[in-house]
A and B are shown apart, each in its own frame.
Chain A
């Protein structure tokens, strides 16, 4: 498959969104750790075939139910690999989930202290998993602006020191939610990083 044909880039951004990857198991019910592990291995293998700076939507539209163990094994493996940096700038987002599916995925992510963006059927973006409100607000701002610096975040956190905001952005980057795309000079001297949200 031609990489260029299966992905799209938003103007002025670095990350390219891939065509959705359909999550499928042996049946429409995904159950147990063995199945979760097999799904994770398939997705990780697929991510490795993609070029850098890619976001892969995982589409759960064909999944009727995923049990907690399967959700944990599947997404913990994938997200930890992403967070470790082994996959470079390749990320995932979740989509096409029913409430039932989302429930167990959110529970697994929360227990493991992981976070992943999800897009609902109306196209709204939210973060699933365990994450503080100030990080959610920062991510939302990034999602709205498509590119963000520490100074931009001062708009929603005017009383927070710039160093604390920089830490916040670095934390979101470590979680696999933002990617650092470049650094730019600031008028007062020094440089600041520009981040882009994965979704």
Chain B
């Protein structure tokens, strides 16, 4: 049984790159299909939506080489209960088994406090379902806690709908979306939306239209994908452009990781080397409207 220890206490867009790299190494160095792998999350203390959807793609990736995968859950009881509320066990059902599950049970009959549980995206109807959820239950949370108004809810729905639609329009894979809101130590409130897939990645998608894209770095492909009307299909390519515009309007941030590059956009774009790993993983942070207005 191959062990894959996650030693970072925090799983976010800023910390996942080396973990993707180690997962890729582990899979590529296995010449024979090994019996099994254990993904050890025992020492993890914090997982944001990007960390969650990234774990989902890593587990799926490990299954390409290992006949079975076991996920050892964090020791932290609160984090375990959070994973349960975010539907982590449901998301990885059928691809991995959970260990160290303390079967924490919710004691109140209150509805879940999470913004958007891990939700599979494979067709347009899934996007409609998520959008409906944003316009109702999630919208109520965003209004009360992040002081969002109708315009802000529309922007939030637009961001989620566009990044989810990109999964089945471009990745040639199934995707996973999740969202949660947070409060920083200075009281600033914000929401994080993350989407991940294990598909062909940004560069290969653009290569379907631009032959020269094969010569680009992955980072250059991501930068081009954010440009207006830059898409594998003519007359398209407005989705990510629109998302980056909304992120700018809300003083938020955007991470797009694909191939071996990650673009981090906050006020200005910064390219960051990542480890080669399939698919596209994306995280968007939008601050509270009250912060934006101040």
Cα(A69)–Cα(B124), bound, Å: 12
| Chain A residues in 8 Å Cβ range of B157 | 65, 67
User: Would B151 and A103 count as touching, CB distance under 8 A?
Assistant: yes
User: Would A68 and B238 count as touching, CB distance under 8 A?
Assistant: yes
User: Would A69 and B162 count as touching, CB distance under 8 A?
Assistant: yes
Cα(A167)–Cα(B113), bound, Å: 58
User: Would A31 and B153 count as touching, CB distance under 8 A?
Assistant: no
> Which one of B35-43, B66-74, B126-134, B182-190 contacts A?
B126-134
Give 1 or 0 for each of A171-188: 1 = CB within 8 Å of chain B CB: 000000000000000000
Interface residues of A in 13-37 (CB under 8 A from B): 26-27, 29, 31-35
Q: Quick one: closest B residue to A72, CB to CB?
A: B238
How many residues of chain A have a CB within 8 Å of chain B?
22
- Asked whether A42 is an interface residue with its Cβ less than 8 Å from the other chain, the reply is no
User: Would B161 and A31 count as touching, CB distance under 8 A?
Assistant: yes
Name, among A64, A68, A104, the residue most crowded by chain B CB atoms within 10 Å (CB to CB).
A68
Chain B's interface size range is 20 to 34
| Chain A residues in 8 Å Cβ range of B155 | 103
Q: Quick one: closest A residue to B169, CB to CB?
A: A33
Q: Quick one: closest B residue to A103, CB to CB?
A: B154
- Asked whether B242 is an interface residue with its Cβ less than 8 Å from the other chain, the reply is yes
Interface residues of B in 103-160 (CB under 8 A from A): 124, 127-128, 131-132, 135, 150-151, 153-155, 157-158
Cα(A32)–Cα(B154), bound, Å: 15
- Asked whether B228 is an interface residue with its Cβ less than 8 Å from the other chain, the reply is yes
| Chain A residues in 8 Å Cβ range of B151 | 99, 103
User: Would B128 and A64 count as touching, CB distance under 8 A?
Assistant: no
User: Would A107 and B242 count as touching, CB distance under 8 A?
Assistant: yes
Cα(A27)–Cα(B125), bound, Å: 10
User: Would A111 and B238 count as touching, CB distance under 8 A?
Assistant: yes
Q: Quick one: closest A residue to B157, CB to CB?
A: A65
Cα(A35)–Cα(B153), bound, Å: 22
User: Would B162 and A65 count as touching, CB distance under 8 A?
Assistant: no
**Could you tell me the distance in whole angstroms from the C-beta of A37 to the nearest C-beta in chain B?**
11
B165: which of A29, A64, A69, A107 is its contact (CB, 8 Å)? A69
- Asked whether B239 is an interface residue with its Cβ less than 8 Å from the other chain, the reply is yes
Cα(A108)–Cα(B228), bound, Å: 12
Q: Quick one: closest B residue to A80, CB to CB?
A: B235
User: Would B132 and A32 count as touching, CB distance under 8 A?
Assistant: no
Interface residues, chain A, with chain B CB atoms under 8 Å away: 26-27, 29, 31-35, 64-65, 67-69, 72, 76, 99-100, 103-104, 107-108, 111
